[in-house]
A and B are shown apart, each in its own frame.
Chain A
Amino acid sequence: MTEVAGGPGDRRANYGTGRTLINREDARMAPEEFAISAQEREDEVVVDVRGEIDLSTAPVLDQRLSELADAQRLVVDLTGVTFLDSSGLGVLVRTSNKLEDHDGSIRLVVNHPQVLKVLEITGLASTLPVFRTLEQALST
């Protein structure tokens, strides 16, 4: 790993997801900390994102992905993301456009049902490459 952003010192990183309220069998508060880490490989960069992507955290993601947008291929691993709203979707679309400007590409890794659903209902699942596992995203 080359860098970790959005750590405990980041005010935007420290809040809960609220998911515990909907799980009646496990009503504990279990904050998901927003975090981004990037790992550079040969001609691609794998970005691991965790926590909730909303209007508060999307600017952090936007800045980090913008810094990495000169990569030939950017794999954004969202398997640790539990919430994604339109502000986060906008970041992914803008990053994809930046990559396409220099013939680069983006790949998303998604396995959380709600995150996948948001991509589908907005039509982005058909315009952005979505993979269920990181291995699949890296092997094709």
Chain B
Amino acid sequence: VSPAESSGLSGPKLTHTVELSFAADSDLVMLARLVAAAAASKVGFDIEQVEDVRLAVDELCLALIRAHSPEGRLQLAFAWSDDTVEVVASHVLGPGAPAAAAGRRQPDEELSSRILDALVDEHGVEDSSGTPRAWLRVRRAQEA
């Protein structure tokens, strides 16, 4: 079951999907940005919104890496339709991986949250299944 399917985010109208998996290494997050830009371009987002999606997906990956250290693998599922892009990022951790740090959010995490709040329509995190996930949904901006 893909991350998108298991998250329940991928609805029937999201007809295109791409899945990406890589070691949770900060050097490789640029791969997620590349696919994010490609998906947003396919939907027909303008250049500014493509940039927004690229940054938002970067922040999605950062949220997982910050919380769970650069261990395991990141699996990203990109799904899009005529006017919407959805991304689910899952952090697949090996046995014995450290639990997420609890407590107050660090300043960088607060900045990350502000960025996501501003750039996407919906986003969230979930950690109920033992595999931490972060997701976002962004729709094409209406022309002024």
Contacts and interface: CB of A to CB of B under 8 A. Distances in A.
B76 to A, nearest CB: 14
B27 A90 contact: no
B74 to A, nearest CB: 12
Interface in B8-49: 26-27, 29-30, 33-34, 37-38, 40-41, 47-48
A87 B41 contact: no
B65 interface: yes
B36 to A, nearest CB: 8
B55 A22 contact: no
Given A90-B107, A121-B118, A122-B114, A55 B29 contact: yes
Contacts of B38: 21
A89 to B, nearest CB: 5
A2 B59 CA distance: 33
A16 B58 CA distance: 14
A15 B33 CA distance: 12
Nearest to B116: A86
B58 A89 contact: no
B27 A93 contact: no
Interface string A7-49: 0000110011111011110000000000000000000000000
B47 A23 contact: yes
Contacts of A24: 41
Contacts of B48: 113-114
B50 interface: yes
Contacts of A124: 111
B100 interface: no
Interface in B50-98: 50-51, 54-55, 58-59, 62, 65
Contact of B111 (A12, A21, A83, A122): A122
Contacts of B27: 11-12, 15, 56
Contact of A121 (B33, B40, B115): B115
Interface string A58-79: 0000000000000000000000
A115 to B, nearest CB: 10
B7 interface: no
Which 5 A-B pairs give the minimum distances between C-beta atoms?
Answer: A90-B108, A121-B118, A55-B26, A86-B112, A86-B111
Given A12-B27, A55-B26, 9 more contacts: A18-B37, A22-B47, A54-B30, A85-B112, A86-B108, A89-B111, A90-B107, A118-B115, A121-B114
